[in-house]
């Protein structure tokens, strides 16, 4: 099947040749004409190309067009709306992600990439939020060739090959940043990442390093992990015992404790990582365990997607069928919203 490749903006009139050697105005004009013709030809080819050919041509276009950000078409407003409409029980994650992404994109020349580390138990929305990021940053959403996802069990399965993986990951990230400075890199299941592997990214995350031929500081990195869930659960339990509302929990209650737990946890993927030592993570984002009311909101949302919003009986049945912890209070679902879809099918 053929598709239409999204064209990057054309700023031919703003093209400026690099360097100061071309002092003669006629020579400068000639170079601009040649580049403009080349970009015009590439634009036409892009319009009628698809698939891998389109991506190759688009990368070539971006290499010569100063203002080209590939298919980067961010919509912060849509991201915020999606977060607040479809992510349940996560006021901290909603606020942090929307605020940090908005602040990062407003800065046309950031001094470092945006690095977010998502932490929390299964089914709390970590992967969902990372998907929303890709969907609202690129015109082609998560299918964009500039959104890169890594899963340790698939991409880095053998702890004995860490040195090989380090070289491959470094090369992969550098190559993709050269193709598109606005690249997004998502690392899922960090708790299964071989120790020491992720530190190869350190040169790309700080403000003082240089990556050849690209502004690497425009990239976004997302780490996703269940590490730190015990700290998060402990804080929210203490909050309940103190008679405070869930929404009263602030990031300051969790940020430092979460950073320490992830750093000292030998199954976090960031165990004793120089990335944490050098304070290269913009924010540790806690995802709170979900109560029954949040699970039931997940159920109702999925029922509405199937066109049957009025099935309150199914909402109550699925909510009651979940396993909750701790035993003495049964406050939080052990699987969050992860098994909701399968349970809906059982009770329909």
Residue set of the binding site:
120-127
Spatial distance between the Cα atoms of 158 and 264, rounded to a whole number of angstroms: 22
Phi and psi at 330, nearest 5°, equal 50, 55
Which tokens belong to 160? Answer: 């004995």
Q: Which of 276, 326, 320 is nearest to 296 (CA)?
A: 320
Strand partners for 120: 287
Give the HSE-up count for residue 70: Cα atoms under 13 Å, Cβ half-sphere: 26
Query: 128 with 89: CB under 8 angstroms?
Result: no
Spatial distance between the Cα atoms of 318 and 290, rounded to a whole number of angstroms: 14
Query: 160 with 122: CB under 8 angstroms?
Result: no
Q: How far apart are the first and last CA of the chain?
A: 36
Rounded to an integer, what is the distance from CA 80 to the centroid of its chain? 14
- No. of helices (H) and no. of strands (E), the chain: 14, 7
Peptide bond into 326 cis (omega under 30): yes
Which residue, chain included where needed, has tokens 């913009």?
Answer: 282
Q: Which of 212, 252, 257 is nearest to 233 (CA)?
A: 257
Phi and psi at 214, nearest 5°, equal -155, 150
Residue ranges at the known binding site for ATP: 120-127
Spatial distance between the Cα atoms of 28 and 280, rounded to a whole number of angstroms: 41
Q: Which of 96, 128, 100 is nearest to 224 (CA)?
A: 128
């Amino acid at each position: 099947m053929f598709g239409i490749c999204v064209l990057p903006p054309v700023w031919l009139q703003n093209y400026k040749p690099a360097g100061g050697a071309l002092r003669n105005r006629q020579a400068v004009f000639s170079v601009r004409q040649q580049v403009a013709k080349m970009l015009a030809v590439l634009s036409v080819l892009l319009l009628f190309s698809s698939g891998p050919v389109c991506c190759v041509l688009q990368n070539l276009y971006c290499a010569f067009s100063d203002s080209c950000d590939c298919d980067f078409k961010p919509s912060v407003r849509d991201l915020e709306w999606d977060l607040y409409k479809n992510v349940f029980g996560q006021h901290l994650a909603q606020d942090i992600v929307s605020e940090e992404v908005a602040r990062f994109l407003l800065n046309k020349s950031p001094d470092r990439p945006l690095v977010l580390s998502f932490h929390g138990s299964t089914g709390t929305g970590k992967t969902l939020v990372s998907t929303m990021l890709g969907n609202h940053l690129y015109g082609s959403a998560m299918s964009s060739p500039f959104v890169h996802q890594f899963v340790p069990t698939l991409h880095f399965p053998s702890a004995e090959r860490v040195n090989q993986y380090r070289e491959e990951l470094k090369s992969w990230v550098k190559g993709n940043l050269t193709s598109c400075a606005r690249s997004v890199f998502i690392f899922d299941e960090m708790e299964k990442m071989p120790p020491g592997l992720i530190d190869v990214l350190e040169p790309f995350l700080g403000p003082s390093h240089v990556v050849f031929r690209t502004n690497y500081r425009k990239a976004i990195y997302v780490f996703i992990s269940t590490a730190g869930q015990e700290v998060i659960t402990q804080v929210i339990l203490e909050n309940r015992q103190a008679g405070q509302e869930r929404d009263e929990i602030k990031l300051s209650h969790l940020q430092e404790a979460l950073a320490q737990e992830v750093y000292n946890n030998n199954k976090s993927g960031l165990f004793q990582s120089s990335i944490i030592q050098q304070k290269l993570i913009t924010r540790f984002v806690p995802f709170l365990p979900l109560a029954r009311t949040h699970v039931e909101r997940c159920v109702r949302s999925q029922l509405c997607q199937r066109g049957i919003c009025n099935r309150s009986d199914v909402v109550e049945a699925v909510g009651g069928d979940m396993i909750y912890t701790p035993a003495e209070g049964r406050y939080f679902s052990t699987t969050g919203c992860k098994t909701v879809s399968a349970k809906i099918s059982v009770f329909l």
